[in-house]
Amino acid sequence: MMRKRFDEQLNTLGQELIRMGALCEEVISLAASALIQKDDALAAKIAPLDHEIDEKERQIESICLRLFLQQQPVARDLRQISAALKMITDMERIGDQAEDIAEILPFLNGRTLPEHIGIREMAKAASKMVTDSVDAYVKQDTSTAEAVIASDDIVDDYFMTIKNSLISLIAQSPTDGEYALDLLMVAKYFERIGDHAVNIAEWVLFSVTGEKNSPQGAD
């Protein structure tokens, strides 16, 4: 009976992580859409969602602590709960960075995003990494986690392409320097979101295998 209750709470933990992951997806999508559509109303929705992500982090922490206290977990249980506690820190940072993007948008002064700047594609790739990393945790799927880690190269390549495009923009039009730097910061935040997704995927591998690589250096 104790084990059944424990397994039910583990299942609740997975469901709450899915909800937190969905909130992260939503703020990333809103940040990208607000940027592309120059929509202040969309940008204004990000801060409240970030607060929801913060609250979800606290709820999941409570679930994890109850699981630790309710029954002596076996090694795999312990890894799964510990991984969840680490993952929600990265997920909370994803929400913060989406809000950071929203705070930059007013400084772009409503300018249309240049078509050749691949921030839209970068945002989609980073969002997929977040979705897949949480899915990998819930399914304890190491192959999906490994695919997330591999796809970080795609997001990094987008960042380098965007960076080079913005350098060219500054060279052609020095008066656009401040605008280009703001866009570069937006791209950097999406790159960091990808890094946090990698961290989540690394914790999935740890929860299944007991082995963990060093986390990405994302703030």
Distance, CA of 48 to CA of 23 (rounded, Å): 11
Q: What pLDDT score does 176 carry?
A: 86
> pLDDT confidence of 48, banded at 50, 70, 90?
very high
Closest CA to 170 of 159, 185, 181: 181
Asked whether the beta carbons of 145 and 201 are under 8 A apart, the reply is: yes
> How far is it, in rounded angstroms, from Cα 109 to Cα 98?
19
Residue (of 83, 92, 109) closest to 175 by Cα position? 109
* Domain spans in the chain, listed from the N-terminal domain onward: 2-209
Q: pLDDT confidence of 115, banded at 50, 70, 90?
A: low
- What is the CATH superfamily name and number for domain 2-209? Phosphate transport system protein phou homolog 2; domain 2 (1.20.58.220)
pLDDT tens-digit readout, 64-104: 998 888 766 677 888 889 999 999 999 999 999 999 999 99
**pLDDT tens, 145-187?**
999 999 999 999 999 999 999 999 899 888 889 999 999 999 9
Distances, alpha carbon 58 to alpha carbons 95, 99, 199, in Å: 14, 19, 19
pLDDT of amino acid 206: 92
pTM: 0.88
Average pLDDT, the chain: 89
Q: Please report the pLDDT score of residue 217 as a whole number.
A: 59
For residue 185, count other CB atoms closer than 10 A to its CB.
14
What is the C-alpha separation between 36 and 120, in angstroms, rounded?
A: 7
Q: What is the token pair recorded at 53?
A: 């992500």
Mean pLDDT value across residues 19-39: 89
d(CA 42, CA 57): 23
